[in-house]
Amino acid sequence: MVRPPTSRSVVPGAGRLGLVESTAPADLQKLGWTGEESLELLWSLSRAANADLALRTVVRLSDTLADGYAELDAALRTDKGLRGRLFGLSGASSALADHLVSDPDAWRLLATPEGKSSGANARVELPSKGQLTAQLLDAVQAVPETGDNAAPGLYRAGITGPEAVVALRKIYRDQVMVLAAADLAATVENLPVLPYQLVGTQLSDMADAALTAALAVAVATACPDRPCPTRLAVIAMGKCGARELNYVSDVDVVFVAEPADSVASRIAGEMMRVGSSAFFEVDAALRPEGKRGELVRTLDSHIAYYKRWAKTWEFQALLKARPMTGDLELGHSYVAALNPMVWLASQREDFVPEVRAMRRRVEEMVPSELREREIKLGRGSLRDVEFAVQLLQLVHGRTDESLRVLGTVDALAALTDGGYIGRDDAANLTASYEFLRLIEHRLQLQRMKRTHTLPPPEDEEALRWLARAAHMRPDGNRDALGVLNGEIKRNAQRIRRLHAKLFYRPLLDSVVRFDSDTVRLTPDAAGRQLAALGFATPTNALGHLRALVGGGARRGQIQAVLLPTLLEWLADTPDPDAGLLNYRRLCEATVDQTWFLRILRDEGAVAQRLMIVLGSSAYVPDLLIKAPEVIRLFVDGPTGPRLLDVEPEETYRAILSSSGRYDDPVRAINAARALRRHELARVASADILGMLDVPQVCAALSSVWAAVINAALAAAIRASVAERGDAAPATLAVIGMGRLGGGELGYGSDADVLFVCDPVAGVEDSVAVKWANGIADRIRKLLGAPSTDPPLEVDTGLRPEGRNGPVVRTLASYDAYYAQWAQAWEVQALLRAHQVAGDQDLGIRFLLMADKVRYPEGGVSPEAVREIRRIKARIDSERLPKGADPATHTKLGRGGLADIEWTVQLIQLRHAHEVISLHNTSTLQSLDAIGAAELMSETDVELLREAWILATKARNALVLVRGKPTDQLPRPGAVLSAVAKVAGWENADAAEFLDNYLRVTRRAKAVVERTFGA
């Protein structure tokens, strides 16, 4: 059967037009847009960002216009410009569509003026600043102000109060609608695209005109019966000052008045109230002292404040200051007086710290879940571009006046012309900046709300609308949504890449010319740029860069690729100068190891982690230079960073196995030292990078110490047996005391030990002790031999009778001494005794003997407890080093390590005989046992735990930062900031870190005092 041919209608149905609302077919019928004569209309409608919204808007207009709709319909059919503007506007902005419907005759504002083309070049003429100002002033019947303080920008309104606000709001919203329609028309019809800078300039001109009218109303309100008694200038700041305003944005202003009296304050306040009610939020928070400061100041008062009190960010804000309205002569005097101070800001002592603090504050303003969607403040965002450009202006504008421009795009052009940025980089950065500003504008236009956040990925409908409103078109492989997502990702990544390159590539091109077109900063400009990025000795830094980039053709090329990013990471560390020097030393030490630069090039995580470590620590770099293979562990493995793949037990066995291959004790210890060096570098690097907590660090360091002591003991005994030609006359064990016994060693801790021996059958005690003393001496000499590694000091000061007693005793001698002569401090010291090396059986027998002393039946005597309290009181008053601050000494200070450990040990002495879980050498584990046995409240236990961990973390950080043992936190400054950062304190804010330390230790001290007073 042959089917008759069918003909497909040339008039598209609602579905083909992208209309999804069920009412769409009826709406088209109602408008009469169903025949072939409506084809152009229909296809134009289909290109609107939201065709249903555009159709609904026209239907609402037809209902409101009634008989007058026929004129609009006819115009839409013939005026291509009107069609593009009306459909573009109503499909992209529900808020402005509602505004249009509220005054339907306003559609005429969108029509192409008579005599203009209605074809592809049809466009509305945007009003000039003068025309905008005249319209708004006419709306409130304003006339020029008269009297002594009359000025070209000062007017007096004839209408005030709510009536004035309503009139101004209508005119202003009409003009926003006209601009938005012109901006969006190209998404629907083949009409000219408005450049980004034109949109920002027009919005800024509208803001100027709007606040000129608002000021006129304010003058009439505050001074109804007399001329304005003060000169008042309004200074535009921020985006409005730079003439790059958004559709929806606060307008930042500063007021200058002569005199700055109550009348001036009232006029300024009234202007802000009218402006905020009629147009946009008017914000004066950038004034001196912010919202706490006077709303209005004289010019002399402004000058005095900026000379004495202003912070770096306030000078950065002044970069965009521009006289806006009011007494413009006074406004120009304000800019002329303050502008020179702006260009000296980069010479301020606190410039770099404040710049870094500003960067941190910007990043912290964005919740983590929104960082990928935030186009203003997130990574690769508008603020990244603005911050980078403004910083370069501040750094180089002191000597180059061509950089003293207001707008971001203009500043990029000036930086390019001045040779501070490469032309390609500037062009790419400008394009990405303008793209993100376009996206920002489209997001704001939808509901005329201030927003900078992309819709969530799962909201495809909202993202698809944004893609169409931003004029994204399918590219053959992706639909409009795919193109939008790709462009957002590409531009954010490009901004992040160029943000790093912007500062650091020109520095490298200044020390080694790679081609004739590269940017080449002068030495002075390069030095200023390095200083602004945190390098205290720019000349030295430039020397390091020359050496690195000039180190052989192939290596130099790789360094040239690496260094821009490496320098950016270094600039965020506590000591960029030391970090760069350490990196150079490391590169020189690995010159024959091709894997080193390759892993930095190919593994971004490795490079970033290495720069953090090199710029944060004086302890680790020397270790890495001698054990560079540790850097291979900076990569991420299948389960996370490989720095965490190594277990302390593995290292312990490796040290014993490696040293055990050698009969010569020196070679055995060197082998043990090499593995210790490797492990210290691994642990310290992981610690600085925040991968290990305090107990993990302490356990790893204690395990290394135990392994090295074991290796030294075994090597000394092997050598002795070989020299004697006979078996050892005794067994020998090493008992860990103090932090070693508790498994809580820090980077700067010595190893407190006791040596105990036991004669073999048939050997006199004196012979055994003499031999064991020789072994102990040999161990201490082997471990204490001069070395560039962190020291290996073995301390026997906790033995019976202290430093006056024999270094080695037999087990029987220890038993006899402790049974008859043990003093309270010796009993207390035994609480942390633990077998760490040598003969395990002998070590266990020693501990069983010690248990009778430290955990006696019925507990220690009241006399012993009193003695412990007396000794503690004496230590508190006498042991603190001269000049130390008792509030911030991590070991002996108030609420420090000694306080907490003595408190735990006092409770152990009093209760361990009845609470078996207190038979524990670890402070933290003993605190757990104290809490479980309810010997102290949970709150008090937690306070002691928090203080112990914080003090240990701070003490470890001190060693990592300074490279040598110390217990005293420094005064606020660069070193304390570095300690705070290495200790993992959020933002590395030294003041906050110190405040927290004082608060935590103060609470812990209260617990200590209650315990010792009980």
HSE at residue 786, side-chain half, CA atoms within 13 A, is 0
DSSP 891-929: TTSTTSHHHHHHHHHHHHHHHTTT-GGG--S-HHHHHHH
Contact 405, 520 (CB under 8 A): no
CA dihedral 975, 978, 983, 984 (to 10 degrees): 150
Quote the CA–CA distance of 712 and 498 in Å, as a whole number: 54
Residue 123's pLDDT band (cuts 50, 70, 90): low
Low-confidence winner among 2-11, 328-337, 570-579, 772-781 (lowest mean pLDDT): 2-11
Percent of the chain with pLDDT over 90: 75
* Sign of the C-alpha dihedral computed for residues 242, 243, 246 and 250 taken in this order: positive
Instruction: Give pLDDT tens digits for 853-898.
Output: 999 988 888 888 889 888 888 888 887 888 889 999 999 999 999 9
SS3 255: strand
Question: Does residue 513 carry a pLDDT above 70?
Answer: no
pLDDT tens-digit readout, 357-408: 776 777 777 787 788 899 998 888 898 899 889 988 988 898 899 999 999 9
Q: State the pLDDT at residue 829.
A: 95
Cβ burial of 244 (10 Å; 0-12, 13-18, 19+) is buried
Q: How far apart are alpha carbons 713 and 669 in whole angstroms?
A: 10
What pLDDT shows up at residue 671?
94
Q: Is 552 left (phi over 0), alpha (psi -120 to 50) or beta?
A: left
Structure tokens at 453: 């956040």
* Mean residue pLDDT across the chain: 91
Can you give the pLDDT at residue 551?
65
Cβ contact 175:126 at 8 Å:
no
Q: What's the pLDDT at 514? A: 46
Instruction: Please state, in angstroms and as integers, the Cα–Cα distance from residue 1005 to each residue in 19, 839, 893, 901, 936, following that order.
Output: 72, 41, 9, 12, 15
The whole-number pLDDT of residue 516 equals: 41
Evaluate the omega torsion of the peptide bond into residue 259 and state whether it is cis, within 30 degrees of 0: yes
Residue type, 919: H
6 has pLDDT over 60: no
Kindly report the three-state secondary structure assignment for every residue of 204-255: HHHHHHHHHHHHHHHHHHHCCCCCCCCEEEEEECHHHHCCCCCCCCCEEEEE
Q: Determine the 3-state secondary structure of 174 from DSSP.
A: helix
Cα(750)–Cα(746) distance, rounded to whole angstroms?
9
242 pLDDT more than 90: yes
CA 716 – CA 724 distance, rounded (Å): 12
- Look at residues 500, 512, 611, 607 and name the one whose alpha carbon lies nearest to residue 564: 500
Interatomic CA distance for residues 345 and 351, integer angstroms: 7
Q: Which two tokens stand for residue 939?
A: 């709150």
CA angle 488, 491, 497 (to 5 degrees): 140
Band of residue 475 on the pLDDT scale cut at 50, 70, 90: confident
DSSP letters spanning 812-874: HHHHHHHHHT--HHHHHHHTT-EEEEE-HHHHHHHHHHHHHHHS-TT-S-HHHHHHHHHHHHH
> Residue holding tokens 């996206």?
439
Would the CA dihedral through 774, 775, 776, 778 be positive or negative?
A: positive
- Alpha carbon separation from 435 to 91, 879, 1001 (Å, rounded): 20, 65, 52
What's the pLDDT at 378? 83
CA distance 170 to 829: 84
Q: Dihedral of the CA atoms 468, 473, 479, 484 (nearest 10)?
A: -60
pLDDT of residue 122: 58
Cα dihedral 515, 519, 524, 530, rounded to 10, equals -100
DSSP 594-653: THHHHHHHH-HHHHHHHHHHHTT-SSHHHHHHH-GGGGGGGSEETTEEGGGS--HHHHHH
Average pLDDT over residues 636-655: 90
Three-class secondary structure of residue 980 per DSSP: helix
Q: How far apart are CA 767 and CA 751, in angstroms?
A: 27
Six-digit token string for 897? 């390590």
Looking at the predicted structure, is the pLDDT value of residue 515 above 50?
A: no
Q: Please state which of the ranges 203-207, 502-506, 799-803, 881-885 shows the lowest mean pLDDT.
A: 502-506
Q: How far apart are CA 1013 and CA 1007, in angstroms?
A: 10
pTM, two decimal places: 0.77
User: How far is Cα 879 from Cα 885, in angstroms, rounded to an integer?
Assistant: 12
3-class DSSP assignment, residue 541: helix
pLDDT value at residue 564? 83
State the helix-helix crossing angle for 938-962 and 665-688, rounded to 10 degrees: 110
CA distance linking residue 442 with residue 451, whole number of Å = 10
DSSP state of 689: T
Tell me, what's the pLDDT at 529?
85
Residue length of the chain: 1014
Q: Is the pLDDT of residue 118 over 80?
A: no
Helix axes 553-571, 538-549, angle to 10 degrees: 150
Residues 6+ apart with CB under 8 A from 699: 648, 743
> What is the per-residue pLDDT across 948-959, written as a single tens digit (0 to 9) for each?
999 999 999 999
Question: Is 56 exposed, middle or buried, given 0-12, 13-18 or 19+ CB atoms closer than 10 A?
Answer: buried
Q: Is the pLDDT of residue 929 over 50?
A: yes
242 compared with 872, residue with greater pLDDT: 242
- Decide if 643 contacts 689 (C-beta within 8 A): yes
Instruction: Select from 79, 78, 105, 110 the least CA-distant residue to 93.
Output: 110
- How many alpha carbons lie under 13 Å from residue 644 in its C-beta half-sphere? 15
Q: Is the pLDDT of residue 180 over 70?
A: yes
Which pLDDT value is given to residue 368?
Answer: 78
Tokens 């691994």 sit on residue? 682
Instruction: Please classify residue 368 by burial: count the beta carbons closer than 10 Å to its beta carbon, then call 0-12 exposed, 13-18 middle and 19+ buried.
Output: exposed
Provide the pLDDT confidence category of residue 312 given band limits of 50, 70 and 90: confident
What confidence score (pLDDT) does residue 705 get?
95
**pLDDT, tens digit, 9 for 90 and up, residues 405-427:** 999 999 999 999 988 888 888 99
The whole-number pLDDT of residue 612 equals: 96
Contact assessment for residue 320 and residue 406, using Cβ atoms and an 8 Å cutoff: yes
DSSP state of 223: -
pLDDT of residue 556: 83
Terminal-residue alpha carbon distance, the chain: 108
The token duo for 149 is 């303080």
Tokens 């009190």 correspond to: 309
* Helix, strand, coil shares, percent, the chain, to 5: 65, 5, 30
**Which tokens belong to 299?**
């010019």
**pLDDT at residue 517 tops 80:** no
Distance CA 566, CA 310 (A): 33
Sign of CA dihedral 568, 570, 574, 577: negative
- In a 13 Å sphere around the CA of 710, the CA atoms on its Cβ side amount to 23
Strand ranges (E), 6-61:
none
Other C-beta atoms closer than 10 Å to the C-beta of 864 total 19
d(CA 576, CA 567): 8
pLDDT digits (tens, 9 = 90+) for 19-69: 999 999 999 999 999 999 999 999 999 999 999 999 999 999 999 999 999
Helix runs in 66-121, H state only = 69-78, 80-92, 94-102
Task: Give percent of the chain above pLDDT 70.
Answer: 96
Closest C-alpha among 731, 933, 733 to residue 833: 733
> CA angle, corner 538, sides to 533 and 542, nearest 5?
110
Under 8 Å between Cβ of 997 and 955: no
pLDDT of res. 1: 43
